[in-house]
Structure 1
Amino acid sequence: MKTRATGLNPHNRFQPIVTDRQFDDGWHRDPDDELRPDSIATEVTDERVRTIISRNQSPDVPFDQSINPYRGCEHACIYCFARPTHAYWDMSPGLDFETRLIAKPNAAQQLRKELDKPSYRVSPIALGINTDAYQPVEKHRRITREILEVLAEYRHPVSLITKGALILRDLDLLADLAADGLCSVSVSLTTLDNELKRKMEPRTAAPAMRLRVIRELTAAGVPTGIIIGPVIPFINDHELESILEAAVAAGARQAHWIMLRLPLELDELFQDWLQRHFPQRASHVMNRIRDLRGGKNNSSTFGERMTGTGPYAQLIRQRFNKRARALGLDKSAHAPLRTDLFRRPGGEQLGLF
């Protein structure tokens, strides 16, 4: 299906009624039939949220607060760990995740309410974790920009992760926040190969465009790094050093890596993708993944799930660290975001009157 990573819609594990949507009843076998769809449009539903800041206590991530302006993601990355969350909304983690989005139009309004609470304690907010805040739908919905406007007004620290070039639209806000040590950006850079990008991340910015994003953010004074995530055995692992080199040349000063994870329905989706695009490598890829996960296709153990275990994980770690050191990259290159500039418009004592 054009511009989509998968044509599958695996069963929603919370739905007691199972519908076999993959059954071929013989219809639409003619590829020239105009009724046979070769693409599917994005459908967006609005949700009026009661809260917008999510909190977590995972030791594997460097933040405890996050905001997701959307549910689902039009970028359609086949490996996205957030796909299984779509099942909570009675939709499939497959094609539904890419095409049936939920937008939160009152996100900025709700954020303002939460920041105004006397009990709120300032901690950096990660913007766009279970979704990409700069996926295509953001161009006209502008929910992410509204959130950034509130954060800038309150001088609240924020970090962003994206694969989207649309982030350059908000360079004015990001540069303003960064000037006070309130903002950092991580660009997800998984490959420099355009063909692999089209297969693996159909609607994301091209690798060259992501390098441009790094250059322009860095030039504007926004601390910018990269995440090579995920590293996929026999698919993009050979690019590890070249990705680091290209990122440094573009101005990145920080880098991290994450190993492929296959939680819940993502296992079926990824294996189907492998068989379609890399059938000759599929068994090798899955065997290596099982080596990383103690003989299983996935492991959710804290401290291991982001990197895996065993000789292959150690090899990736050594390769990454060796090249990163040679290039002057450092996991701690960015100073911690400031929290002492937080202010509530109208004054801290406004609630007393």
Structure 2
Amino acid sequence: MEQDKRPAPPARKGRGAVTNNDSHRFNLPSRQADGDWLDDREALGDSPTKLRTQVTTETPKSILSFNTSPDIPFDRSINAYRGCEHGCIYCYARPTHAYHDLSPGLDFETKLFAKPNAAQLLRETLAKPKYRPAPIALGTNTDPYQPIEKRYRITRTILDVMLETRHPVGITTKSNKVIDDSETLAALAALELTAVAISVTTLDPQTARLLEPRAPSPVKRLAAVRHLRALNIPVHVSIAPVIPAITDYEIESIVEAAVDNGAQSVSITPMRLPHEVAPLFEQWLEAYFPDRKNKVMNIIASLRDGKKNDPDFHSRMKGKGPWAKLLHHRLAIASRKHGLGKARFTLRTDLFQRPLVKGSQMELF
């Protein structure tokens, strides 16, 4: 296949994607970025062309998303936000922004959507007579503790409903801000209603800054693991994704650091590049790791049946071929060395208490 000879566009400090690559599945008209804005927090920096985060409030009519995927341990989830300011270049959720006629590139990390009525919608859903409880996952698409959570506190209000109704909830995040809700999480954990998975992709702060520019540092995430475990909250560490020739050498070190901070289990997910993530990631490689771009992409192809992505159930999470087997073998050895088993966080459903919704007939009793 002919290589693109065009020079890589310049990287933007503090952002993950290099461009707003507008070539995507829906063939919508190509458009230019809406311009550069000065960010109040960054105006004192050395670059006058920082993109400011914009947040749009939306009021959906439903909040639970259901799935029938056989390779994930939950069948329902809540995403309080669309888009994610963390800006992780590898994020598999980037393509969802194309549904809004926005770019999976810079738009995904700068033009966000928040759902302030999430907790109320959740209460109404849980109050329905036909609803049957099962663990709800937070953070399956975009991070529930990305920076704008400090302002909107939507995740916190969802957790309040979970505690009130004794409903099980699992959290996936790469932010130490999860400890802001330690009190609520500890109360849920005491009832065996929650577990937290914290993603640690690399221990190297420089690599983390390039991969996940606005996510908290690895040191802070590991400190969050330690903080949560001190409160008897179950914690899992996810090494996701493992990027060949860039972060794969760190598997054993991350396992050791996770155990040292109290993690009870560790898992890995090899790199995958669905839809528009592939060209964005290649641009990122060209900007930051041009010397090893071909090597990285060739190994990813070896993990994915010669392609950039494998959407098939089960194999999408594990990868295929010798490289995948080697990664999982290394994890198994490191886990045994540190006395780790597989993640088994069973959350209770038998404590569920259906909530009362204001104005409902149940308020009469």
Superposed pair shares fold, TM > 0.5: yes
Deviations 1:142-180 (A, max 9, x none): 011011101110010000011111111100100000000
Q: Are 1:231 and 2:216 counterparts?
A: no
Deviations 1:68-127 (A, max 9, x none): 000000000000000001111111100000000000010001000000000101000001
Distance of 2:129 and 2:58 partners within structure 1: 26
User: TM (normalized to structure 1)?
Assistant: 0.93
Kindly indicate whether the alpha-carbon contact (under 8 Å) linking 1:15 and 1:90 is maintained by their aligned counterparts in 2: no
Distance of 1:339 and 1:56 partners within structure 2: 19
Q: Are 1:324 and 2:335 counterparts?
A: yes
Aligned equivalent of 1:16: 28
Aligned pair partner of 1:250 in 251, 256, 261: 261
Aligned equivalent of 2:322: 311
Q: Are 1:158 and 2:169 counterparts?
A: yes
Aligned equivalent of 2:353: 343
Deviations 1:183-229 (A, max 9, x none): 00000011100000000000111111011100000001100010000
Q: Are 1:130 and 2:125 counterparts?
A: no
Aligned length: 340
Distance of 1:352 and 1:58 partners within structure 2: 40
Aligned equivalent of 1:262: 273
Give the % identical residues.
51
Distance of 1:150 and 1:89 partners within structure 2: 29
Distance of 1:346 and 1:297 partners within structure 2: 48
CA RMSD of aligned residues (A): 1.9
Runs of 4+ in 1 over 6 A off after TM superposition: none
Distance of 2:166 and 2:120 partners within structure 1: 16
Distance of 1:342 and 1:315 partners within structure 2: 42
Gap change, CA 1:279 and 1:346, over 3 Å in 2:
closer
Aligned pair partner of 2:232 in 205, 209, 221: 221
Gap change, CA 1:122 and 1:352, over 3 Å in 2:
farther
Kindly indicate whether the alpha-carbon contact (under 8 Å) linking 2:304 and 2:320 is maintained by their aligned counterparts in 1: yes
Listed as ranges, the gaps of 5+ residues in structure 2 are 1-11, 35-44
Listed as ranges, the gaps of 5+ residues in structure 1 are 23-33
Distance of 2:169 and 2:309 partners within structure 1: 31
Distance of 1:321 and 1:227 partners within structure 2: 14
